[in-house]
């Protein structure tokens, strides 16, 4: 049942005051050759970016651990901490990104729109079995990305927005056998009404594409993330500053 009065939860003051802050980065599909869309990343580009992250002092951490810190102010991530996210649950994430991340032992998150799990649209999407296998490693968190991935949640009616949040949450919990606590706003588009709908559905963390450190997010239902397609150099510099203590 929806809560009667959802609230937007602030970042804990102890987390907000921290000097060595956390950058959350987002990619989409990973492809072996020519890009189909501008926000694809080639395997060669991803390898080069991972090398640059290592050189900058990046320390990838679990999204769950970042959430716990932002909510409580306890157990801060190390300097240079970052969270690596891959949106849209496309096949290249499992086929190409996951092996590279496994070689490095780096945790990451995958956002999936539940209606299209295992379905081929313009691109193939990973199946529930593949998502369950990713989570079984202990290094991966699968995140809701609503049910149908509307182009802009802000344009939906209240009823349609509620369906997108709830249907995805229920389906994800049934398939993965655990609480679905995190949601990614498709294309990073959100406003206060969208964030309140996420909170009403029981999501504890909402992922945007607004740039900035995680600790500087306006609240937990609007987590800042750096787009690696638009702001790669800015994200890399942010991680390097954090690795040096802020």
Q: Residue 1 falls within a domain, yes or no?
A: no
pLDDT at 246: 79
- Residue 3 counted as domain residue: no
Burial of 16 (0-12, 13-18, 19+ CB in 10 A): middle
The verdict on residue 7 lying in a domain is no
Please indicate, yes or no, if residue 218 is contained in any of the structural domains.
yes
How far apart are the C-alpha atoms of 131 and 175, rounded to whole Å?
A: 9
Give the Cα separation of 1 and 167 in Å (integer): 12
- For residue 74, what are the domain limits? 13-243
Q: What is the pLDDT of residue 4?
A: 59
Contacts of 130 (CB under 8 A, 6+ apart): 94
Residue 146 included in any domain: yes
Structural domain includes residue 87: yes
What is the count of structural domains for the chain? 1
DSSP one-letter code for 30: E
Considering the domain boundaries, does residue 8 fall inside one?
no
* CATH value at residue 214: 3.20.20.370
Instruction: Split the chain (246 residues) into runs of 10 and give each run's mean pLDDT.
Output: 75 96 98 96 98 98 98 98 98 98 98 98 97 98 98 98 98 98 98 98 98 98 98 98 92
Residue 5 lies in a domain: no
């Amino acid at each position: 049942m929806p809560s009667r009065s959802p609230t937007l939860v602030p970042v804990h003051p102890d987390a907000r005051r921290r000097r060595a802050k956390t950058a959350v980065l987002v990619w989409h599909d990973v492809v072996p050759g020519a890009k189909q869309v501008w926000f694809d990343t080639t395997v060669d580009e991803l390898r080069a970016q991972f090398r640059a992250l290592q050189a900058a002092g990046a320390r990838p951490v679990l999204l769950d651990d970042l959430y716990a810190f932002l909510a409580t102010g306890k157990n801060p991530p190390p300097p240079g901490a970052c969270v690596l996210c891959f949106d849209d649950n496309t096949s290249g994430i499992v086929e190409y990104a996951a092996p590279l991340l496994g070689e490095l032992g780096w945790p990451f998150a995958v956002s999936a729109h539940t209606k299209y799990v295992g379905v081929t649209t313009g691109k193939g999407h990973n199946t529930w079995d593949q998502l369950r296998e990713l989570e079984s490693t202990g290094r991966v968190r699968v995140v809701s990305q609503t049910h149908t991935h509307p182009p802009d949640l802000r344009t939906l009616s209240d009823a349609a927005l509620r369906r997108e949040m709830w249907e995805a949450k229920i389906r994800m919990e049934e398939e993965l056998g655990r609480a679905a606590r995190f949601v990614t706003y498709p294309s990073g588009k959100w406003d206060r009404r969208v964030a309140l709908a996420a909170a009403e559905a029981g999501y504890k963390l909402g992922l945007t594409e607004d740039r900035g450190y995680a600790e500087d997010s306006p609240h937990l239902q609007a987590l800042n993330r750096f787009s690696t397609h638009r702001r790669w150099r800015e994200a890399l510099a942010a991680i390097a500053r954090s690795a040096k203590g802020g």
